[in-house]
């Protein structure tokens, strides 16, 4: 655990803690607030307005009005794109404040936030800003007496419900394509990490995004989240979170107004390391996969390289620094909250009791906050809990395999299909494995390579619909065909 005394903590100024509805920061109708906790200490960071059903109703009304009567869906794509570019510039101008907010609210590493999370967020905005004026339909010849054209129209009022793992990236992954399409929206950030979304609402206003286009309702899932997913006047839900909640959202959509749903859910992503891999590089990849949450939490290692890789990981583990997210030496920050911290520790205990071998870590660290040592288990078997359930924490499970076919079969034997990685020098094997794994993104000799133009989402119970890329823009558009008779057509 890094010593915090040398850390120059840049505490952010927490200015925005109210709901953002129709361009104004307002208290919740009930006047209720909830605590957001600083995971570095376990202490209260701020009290944030607790939105409920009535607040969601107001936010939906504002979004509906902005959609039905406001300028946003009516302006040209080029105009929307220009405003989105301005929004992106404002995000960049506030990068330090935003990275600091995610550090104290979510425990995200500050230097990672300034270098990756926040710049990637503004890049996503710019990607979709550039797409806003490239939305167009087709001309259809039909039969002799008719012709038709298609219009690509914004789907309407969108509800975005997001998790805590990437508060900034999630916000823009959802909001940016919906803005480009001309939709209006209500965002409900995770209750653990509401602060940066409120700051983004403030920046949206400074960028001159019209009132009612982006509304942010902070609050809890079963109240605010459920009110959005069951609302009769919300046209689409875009959700990222657990499979369990995804199911509830689909049910709520089905029994309300059959709103369109897209879900990006849990994963238990495999990373397959083949005998011919470079041990040092493979260890680095496995570690980087473990650091983030789409984590290659099931690492399948071929038997010829297994012992060498275990040794290398044990050596590298000595340099891992768990510490305050503001400490530039820290590679691992705290877990987001007590619940997540307890859940990870219980998974670690199950790994120990089910007979996996603990290579490194395996316990909490520090004398306050929610810090856990990065943990590696070896000799993990497919039936163990740590090999089956999503952990969302720094826990890596190493599993031995003999043949590529066996690795593919075991990698696929999960209810999830979010991501997968392969480490090998053999192009043919890499191609075979890529085509054989049922997952939404495959990384060959890399892990967690993302960009605005690269679609991302699940197979199987990891959900459906894609975030990012031009495919995500499609989620926020509907097609209307317009047919008209053509008389005396020469052809
Ligand atoms: P995690 O397990 O990663 O915290 P969840 O699926 O519980 O993920 O939460 C993701 C998001 O879904 C959060 O914003 C949370 O408030 C919201 N949520 C939780 N329960 C519901 C629900 N019943 N209806 C709608 N949203 C919900």
Using a 6 Å cutoff on CB, does residue 163 contact ligand 1?
Answer: yes
128: confidence class by pLDDT, cuts 50, 70, 90: very high
**pLDDT exceeds 50 at position 313:** yes
pLDDT tens, residue by residue, 201-219: 999 999 999 999 999 999 9
Q: At CA 271, angle to CA 266 and CA 277, rounded to 5?
A: 170
CB-CB contact of 479 with 150 (8 Å): yes
- Section 348-353 average pLDDT: 95
Q: What is the pLDDT of residue 245?
A: 98
CA–centroid distance, 174 to ligand 1, in Å, is: 15
Q: What is the pLDDT of residue 291?
A: 60
**pLDDT exceeds 70 at position 2:** no
Atom of ligand 1 nearest to the CA of 163: 10
CA–centroid distance, 242 to ligand 1, in Å, is: 7
- Helices 303-317 and 279-291: crossing angle in degrees, nearest 10, is 60
Pick the catalytic residue from 35, 96, 244, 264: 264
- Section 71-96 average pLDDT: 98
b/e code 89-110 from CB counts within 10 Å (16+ = b): ebbeebbeebbbbbbbbbbbbb
Instruction: Answer with the residue of higher pLDDT: 71 or 145.
Output: 71
Distance, CA of 272 to CA of 448 (rounded, Å): 14
CB-CB contact of 169 with 190 (8 Å): no
Using a 6 Å cutoff on CB, does residue 221 contact ligand 1?
Answer: yes
Using a 6 Å cutoff on CB, does residue 364 contact ligand 1?
Answer: no
- Section 133-151 average pLDDT: 93
**pLDDT exceeds 50 at position 5:** no
CA–centroid distance, 104 to ligand 1, in Å, is: 21
Sign of CA dihedral 331, 335, 340, 346: positive
CB-CB contact of 123 with 170 (8 Å): no
pLDDT tens, residue by residue, 48-57: 999 999 999 9
Beta-bridged to residue 188, according to DSSP, are 161
**pLDDT exceeds 70 at position 9:** no
- Section 141-146 average pLDDT: 86
CA–centroid distance, 190 to ligand 1, in Å, is: 7
CA–centroid distance, 353 to ligand 1, in Å, is: 30
- Section 459-465 average pLDDT: 96
* Distant-in-sequence contacts of 482-485, Cβ < 8 A, 24+ apart: 482/148, 482/149, 482/150, 482/151, 483/142, 483/146, 483/147, 483/148, 484/146, 484/147, 484/148, 485/145, 485/146
pLDDT tens, residue by residue, 235-255: 999 999 999 999 999 999 999
**pLDDT exceeds 50 at position 43:** yes
- Section 314-338 average pLDDT: 91
CA distances from 137 to 55, 141, 324, 480 (A): 36, 13, 50, 9
pLDDT tens, residue by residue, 437-458: 999 999 999 988 889 999 999 9
Using a 6 Å cutoff on CB, does residue 167 contact ligand 1?
Answer: no
Q: What is the pLDDT of residue 290?
A: 63
Q: Tell me the best of 163, 188, 393 to mutate to test the pocket of ligand 1, counting ligand atoms within 8 Å of each CB and taking the most.
A: 163
Q: What is the pLDDT of residue 297?
A: 76
- Section 149-178 average pLDDT: 97
Which residue's alpha carbon is nearest to atom 3 within ligand 1? 241
Give the number of other CB atoms < 10 A from CB of residue 490. Answer: 3
Atom of ligand 1 nearest to the CA of 229: 25
CA–centroid distance, 247 to ligand 1, in Å, is: 11
264 part of the active site: yes
Q: Tell me the best of 245, 293, 344 to mutate to test the pocket of ligand 1, counting ligand atoms within 8 Å of each CB and taking the most.
A: 245
Q: What is the pLDDT of residue 318?
A: 85
**pLDDT exceeds 90 at position 192:** yes
Q: Does the predicted model carry a pTM greater than 0.80? A: yes
CA–centroid distance, 245 to ligand 1, in Å, is: 6
Which residue's alpha carbon is nearest to atom 27 within ligand 1? 221
Which residue's alpha carbon is nearest to atom 7 within ligand 1? 242
Q: What is the pLDDT of residue 309?
A: 97
Q: Tell me the best of 107, 221, 255, 267 to mutate to test the pocket of ligand 1, counting ligand atoms within 8 Å of each CB and taking the most.
A: 221
Identify the CA nearest to 269 among candidates 156, 397, 167. 397
Distance, CA of 360 to CA of 435 (rounded, Å): 33
**pLDDT exceeds 70 at position 292:** no
- Section 1-17 average pLDDT: 70
Using a 6 Å cutoff on CB, does residue 162 contact ligand 1?
Answer: yes
Beta-bridged to residue 139, according to DSSP, are 149
Which residue's alpha carbon is nearest to atom 15 within ligand 1? 221
Residue in the structure block whose two tokens are 């959609």:
67
CA–centroid distance, 420 to ligand 1, in Å, is: 24
**pLDDT exceeds 80 at position 295:** no
355: confidence class by pLDDT, cuts 50, 70, 90: very high
Using a 6 Å cutoff on CB, does residue 256 contact ligand 1?
Answer: no
Atom of ligand 1 nearest to the CA of 161: 14
Using a 6 Å cutoff on CB, does residue 229 contact ligand 1?
Answer: yes
144: confidence class by pLDDT, cuts 50, 70, 90: confident
CB-CB contact of 23 with 205 (8 Å): yes
Atom of ligand 1 nearest to the CA of 246: 6
Distance, CA of 299 to CA of 273 (rounded, Å): 7
Distance, CA of 331 to CA of 130 (rounded, Å): 34
Percent of the chain with pLDDT over 70: 96
């Amino acid at each position: 655990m890094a010593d915090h005394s040398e850390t120059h903590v840049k505490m952010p100024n927490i200015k925005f803690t109210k709901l953002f509805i129709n361009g104004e920061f307002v208290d919740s109708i009930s006047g209720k607030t909830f605590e957001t906790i600083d995971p570095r200490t376990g202490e209260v960071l701020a009290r944030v307005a607790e939105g409920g059903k009535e607040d969601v109703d107001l936010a939906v009304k504002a979004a509906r009005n902005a959609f039905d009567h406001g300028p946003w869906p009516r302006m040209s794509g080029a105009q929307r794109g220009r405003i989105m570019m301005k929004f992106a510039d404002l995000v960049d101008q506030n990068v330090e404040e935003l990275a600091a907010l995610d550090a104290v609210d979510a425990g995200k590493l500050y230097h990672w936030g300034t270098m990756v999370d926040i710049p990637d967020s503004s890049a996503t905005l710019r990607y979709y800003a550039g797409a806003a004026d490239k939305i167009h339909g087709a001309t259809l010849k039909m039969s002799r007496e008719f012709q038709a054209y298609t219009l690509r129209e914004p789907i309407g009022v969108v509800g975005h419900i997001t998790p805590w793992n990437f508060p900034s990236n999630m916000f823009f992954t959802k909001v940016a394509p919906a803005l480009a399409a001309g939709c209006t929206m209500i965002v409900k950030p995770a209750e653990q990490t509401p602060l940066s979304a409120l700051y983004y609402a403030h920046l949206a206003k400074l960028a001159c995004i019209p009132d009612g286009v982006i509304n942010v309702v902070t609050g809890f899932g079963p109240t605010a989240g459920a009110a959005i997913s069951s609302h009769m006047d919300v046209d689409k839900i875009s959700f990222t979170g657990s499979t369990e909640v995804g199911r509830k959202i689909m049910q709520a959509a089905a029994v309300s107004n059959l709103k369109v749903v897209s879900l990006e859910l849990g994963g238990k992503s495999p990373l397959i390391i083949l005998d011919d891999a470079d041990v040092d590089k493979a260890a680095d990849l496995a570690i980087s996969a473990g650091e983030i949450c789409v984590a290659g939490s099931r690492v399948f290692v071929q038997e010829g390289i297994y012992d060498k890789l275990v040794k290398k990981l044990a050596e590298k583990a000595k340099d891992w620094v768990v510490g305050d997210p503001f400490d530039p030496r820290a590679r691992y920050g705290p877990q987001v909250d007590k619940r997540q911290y307890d859940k990870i520790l219980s998974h670690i205990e199950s790994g120990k009791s089910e007979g996996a071998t603990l290579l490194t870590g395996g316990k909490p660290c520090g004398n306050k906050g929610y810090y856990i040592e990065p943990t590696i288990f070896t000799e993990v078997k497919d039936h163990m809990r740590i090999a089956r359930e999503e952990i969302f924490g720094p826990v890596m499970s190493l599993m031995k395999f003999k043949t590529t076919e066996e690795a593919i079969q075991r990698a696929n034997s999960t209810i999830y299909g979010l991501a997968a990685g392969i480490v090998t020098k053999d192009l043919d094997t890499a191609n075979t494995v890529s085509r054989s794994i049922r997952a939404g993104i495959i990384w060959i000799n890399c892990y967690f390579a993302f960009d605005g133009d690269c679609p991302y989402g699940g197979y199987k119970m990891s959900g459906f619909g894609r975030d990012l890329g031009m495919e995500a823009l499609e989620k926020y558009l509907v097609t209307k065909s317009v047919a008209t008779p053509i008389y005396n057509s020469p052809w």
